[in-house]
């Protein structure tokens, strides 16, 4: 069984580094990590933190209304496919709805697009490049 809990920003850093920044010289801390409106979720499996995600109040010009951005969703490779990402996203959407947020968006890596689509997110716009990381798609879901 996977348990989804709120975690500190510091607890996201190790998994972000291992999964999202492996061999990439970019920071694993994000602007907004320590803002009061930001929250971070972790997936606990057999007593171990195996996945993380962060949700930050951030607006993008192609959307309107109250917006949050999903950043840094990462699951340790050994634990991918267990449903941790889907559970974190579901919990985040419930929390954001309670905050009366209209929309959640993210910049999804090309290899993660299928996962986000399976969770109900849609692509908006054209693919774009993020230096050192690769092709991304802007995706969103209405809450």
Q: Which residues of the chain have pLDDT under 50?
A: none
Q: Which pLDDT score is estimated for 29?
A: 77
Quote the pTM value.
Answer: 0.93
Q: Which pLDDT score is estimated for 25?
A: 58
| CA 1 – CA 17 distance, rounded (Å) | 25
Q: Which pLDDT score is estimated for 30?
A: 79
Q: Which pLDDT score is estimated for 27?
A: 60
DSSP 75-132: E-GGGTTSSHHHHHHHHHHHHHHHTT--EEEEEEEGGGHHHHHHTT-EEEEEEEEETT
Domains and CATH numbers, the chain: 2-105 (3.40.630.30)
Residue-wise pLDDT for 71-88, tens only, equals 999 999 999 999 999 999
């Amino acid at each position: 069984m996977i348990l989804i809990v709120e975690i500190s920003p510091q607890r996201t850093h190790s998994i972000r580094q291992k999964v999202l920044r492996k061999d990439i010289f970019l920071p694993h801390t994000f602007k907004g990590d320590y803002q009061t409106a930001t929250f971070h979720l972790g997936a606990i499996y057999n007593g171990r933190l195996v996945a993380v995600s962060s949700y930050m109040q951030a607006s993008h010009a192609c959307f309107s209304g109250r917006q949050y951005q999903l950043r840094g969703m990462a699951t340790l490779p050994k634990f991918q496919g267990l449903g941790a990402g889907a559970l974190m996203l579901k919990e985040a959407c419930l929390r954001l709805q309670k905050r009366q947020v209209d929309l959640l968006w993210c910049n999804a890596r090309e290899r993660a697009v299928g996962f986000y689509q399976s969770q109900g997110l849609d692509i908006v716009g054209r693919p774009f490049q993020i230096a050192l990381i690769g092709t991304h798609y802007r995706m969103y879901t209405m809450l």
